Copies of this chain bind each other. A is one copy, B any other.
Amino acid sequence: MSDKNKIMPDKIRAVQYGCGPIGLNVAALALRRNGIELAGAVDIDPDLAGRDLGEAAGMDRAAGVIITNDADELLSRCRPDIVFHTTTSRLETAAAQISDLVRAGANVVSTCEELSFPYRRDPAVASKLDLLARQNSATVLGTGINPGFLMDAWPLFMTGPCQNVTHVKVERMQDASGRRLPFQQKIGAGRTPEEFQALVESGKLRHVGLPESIAMLAAGLGWKLDEITESIEPVMAEKEVESPYLKVIPGQAAGVRQVGRGISQGAELILMEFSAFIGAAESFDSVTIKGTPDISVRIHGGTHGDISTAAMVVNAASRVVAAAPGLITMKDLPPVTAGS
């Protein structure tokens, strides 16, 4: 499936763009990969400039890669085959940054959630970025564990054995008890209903990507949706539940549930439920397909968000470097597999 305009390098030359928690996870994995040479790293934070990337990522060795604040200088010096872009959930912000990367001739894998299926958020921005990428023989992909895999690419892949499909339900259930404190805070654990609502309204308490996942799934199945709905509500603690960091009492939120639906002619074709709360009975990811045949598939114990987002991004690198130029999505990429 490779494009003849592109040459597959022996070793993929990469740059890390954004050195927050996700970016440092990605960089740490890329640094361990034989097939990747991580040649540079950039972040806007002046405190990070001059620091070694391996040390910043908490690795037990220096990477020999110094973080810079100057993206332009880095790109012209490194000439990367690929840039790992991890700065934002918002399409508009990502598209502006990625446009510069593409103009420098780099392929891009981004964790920007709204970029995973950008035709949902803003078709005009998506088309413009697609054209720019083609003009510069570069490929751009938005991915991660979710969106990018669990609630879109994986359910789509699982429809392959079906002669027809009439409904798809995807469920992601995370017991947040063992997750780090910022994650527990992010899902609203320990908040009163009023505090929870205020967090929702401020936009700080929300898994970004549910509508994108629904839109990608529909597009992959050739379904035209009239409407995509999304709701977000607290999962209230019914009894006292505890994590190593937090105690939640009845009347407080233990976490969050988001529900998204894809509707066509008044009928629900797609249902997505994303739940993360302290005290969930178990963690799992599941896909339930109604069709010929029905398919019911479940990842027991679920999938770790941080570890697996870094994996998806780094594992996608070789596929993206080999892909035809343009803005692509996971539904059109050959299987992203664990690299070495």
Q: Give me the interface of A with B, judged by CB distance under 8 Å.
A: 1-2, 29, 145, 149, 153-154, 156-157, 159-165, 220-223, 291-301, 303-304, 307-308, 310-312, 314-315, 323-324, 328, 331-340
Contact status A338-B149, CB under 8 Å: no
- Give A162 to B163 CA distance when docked, in angstroms: 30
The one of B165, B298, B308, B335 in contact with A298, judged by C-beta atoms closer than 8 angstroms, is B298
Contact status A300-B299, CB under 8 Å: no
A14 to chain B, nearest CB (A): 15
User: What residues of B have a CB within 8 angstroms of the CB of A157 in the complex?
Assistant: 154, 157, 335-337
Contact status A337-B297, CB under 8 Å: no
User: What residues of B have a CB within 8 angstroms of the CB of A162 in the complex?
Assistant: 308, 311, 315, 338
3 tightest A-B CB contacts, nearest first:
A161-B308, A159-B338, A160-B336
A165: nearest chain-B partner, CB-CB = B338
Given A159-B337, A338-B160, verify A293-B307 contact (CB < 8 Å).
yes
The one of B296, B297, B331 in contact with A334, judged by C-beta atoms closer than 8 angstroms, is B331
- Give A335 to B152 CA distance when docked, in angstroms: 11
Contact status B303-A335, CB under 8 Å: no
